Amino acid sequence: MPVTAFEARTRQFDRAPIGARGYHEPAVDAFLERVAATLDGDDDLSVSDVHNVAFAKAPLSKRGYDPTAVDAFLRDVEGTLAGLSRSADYYIAPALEHTHTRKPLWRRR
């Protein structure tokens, strides 16, 4: 089912489970505002932009948005934008590979 600009602006997400840090809420909200503007024709996010977005984790004292719910909604957004796109240069990842968590910049070796 296609996502509308109204849905992108008013979408509410559950909090991450207790003991887990979800996505940083202001970052998700700002991105969804860009999604809504794109659906209104006032911005130009692509399917690739939505697919590749990465959100920081919520601060330690906050739970943030449930990543599973946000990722599911963004998959719907990708499908909507893909349907609006007239080009075939997009790729929608399978659900199991889809995450918008920012990868750490460093790793222990």
Task: Look at residue 25 and tell me if it is in a domain.
Answer: yes
Q: Is residue 95 part of a domain?
A: no
| 109 residues of the chain, pLDDT tens digit each | 789 999 999 999 999 999 899 999 999 999 999 999 999 999 999 999 999 999 999 999 899 999 999 999 999 999 999 888 754 454 444 444 556 665 544 444 4
Does 74 map to a domain?
Answer: yes
Residue 20 forms part of a structural domain:
yes
Give the length of the chain: 109
The separation between the first and the last C-alpha atoms of the chain, rounded to the nearest angstrom, is 44
Q: Looking at the 3D structure of the chain, how many domains does it have? A: 1
The pTM assigned to this predicted structure is 0.77
Segments in the chain forming alpha helices (H): 5-10, 25-39, 47-52, 67-84
Residue 108 lies in a domain: no
Asked if residue 59 is part of any domain, the answer here is yes
The answer to whether residue 15 sits within a structural domain is: yes
Enclosing domain of residue 72: 5-90
